């Protein structure tokens, strides 16, 4: 009887060892092997891309529109479309030029994006561009649910009081 109890105790001891080892393996797998990889570079690239793209675009001077910069063309497109460039209205000119720029930059780099210009008082977009792959229209949209980096630029309008144009550059993560 005593021998039986001794053997049971020994087995019990072995069980404790096994349980401890299993716990150790569980923690190691959970916190080391399954630990998500840091995304510093991707996060930084997304943030700098959305910010720098917007700044560079808005500051750029038009080539065949008397050197007027894009921020002015966008606000004109939102207001009265009085500026005419190379036979085109400001909105058409911006759309064509933006397509050309995006083809050589974000589309070429296969970056998913959603670029919108709209009045702060009106949600309907004046200018809207999505990444080239049509499937991305569903996946990359500047709504609250999609993960990404948004940079908004506020362009005051000359004749519309407190209203302004919100130019949004959203890069999907």
Partner 1 sequence: MKKKSQMQFGETIAILFIFFMLLVVGLVFYVKIKTASVGQDISEYKDVRAVELSQTVAFLPEFQCTEMNVVEPSCFDKYKILAMQKVSEANHAYYYRDLGDILIEVQQIYPFGETIVPYNSTPETFTVASQAHIPISLYDVESEKYIFGVLRITTYG
Which residues bind to partner 1, rule: CB under 8 A?
A: 17, 21, 24-25, 28, 32-33, 35, 37-38, 40-41, 44-45, 48-49, 52-53, 55-57, 59-61, 63, 67, 69, 97, 100-101, 104-105, 109
Smallest separation (angstroms) from partner 1 to the CB of 124: 27
Smallest separation (angstroms) from partner 1 to the CB of 172: 16
For residue 116, count other CB atoms closer than 10 A to its CB.
19
Nearer to partner 1, 96 or 121 (CB): 96
Smallest separation (angstroms) from partner 1 to the CB of 123: 27
Give 44-59 as a 3 state SS string: HHHHHHHHHHHHHHHH
Nearer to partner 1, 111 or 116 (CB): 111
Nearer to partner 1, 20 or 80 (CB): 20
Nearer to partner 1, 45 or 160 (CB): 45
Smallest separation (angstroms) from partner 1 to the CB of 121: 28
The DSSP output letter for 134 is T
From CA 146, how far away is CA 158, in angstroms rounded?
34
Nearer to partner 1, 90 or 97 (CB): 97
For residue 70, count other CB atoms closer than 10 A to its CB.
24
Contact criterion met (CB below 8 Å) for 83 and 73: yes
From CA 38, how far away is CA 84, in angstroms rounded?
49
From CA 167, how far away is CA 154, in angstroms rounded?
6
Q: Exposed (0-12), middle (13-18) or buried (19+): which is 125, by Cβ within 10 Å? A: middle
Smallest separation (angstroms) from partner 1 to the CB of 9: 14
């Amino acid at each position: 009887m005593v021998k039986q109890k001794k053997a049971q105790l020994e087995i019990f001891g072995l069980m404790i060892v096994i349980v401890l080892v299993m716990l150790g393996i569980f923690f190691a797998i959970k916190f080391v092997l399954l630990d998500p990889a840091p995304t510093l570079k991707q996060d930084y690239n997304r943030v700098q891309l959305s910010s720098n793209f917007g700044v560079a675009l808005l500051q750029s001077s038009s080539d065949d529109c008397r050197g007027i910069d894009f921020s002015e063309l966008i606000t004109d497109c939102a207001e009265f479309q009085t500026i005419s460039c190379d036979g085109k209205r400001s909105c058409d000119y911006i759309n064509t030029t933006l397509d050309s720029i995006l083809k050589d930059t974000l589309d070429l780099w296969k970056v998913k994006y959603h670029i919108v210009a709209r009045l702060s008082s009106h949600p309907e977009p004046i200018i809207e561009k999505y990444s080239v792959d049509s499937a991305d229209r569903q996946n990359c949209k500047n709504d609250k649910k999609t993960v990404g980096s948004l940079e908004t630029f506020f362009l005051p309008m000359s004749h519309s009081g407190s209203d302004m144009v919100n130019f949004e550059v959203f890069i999907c993560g």
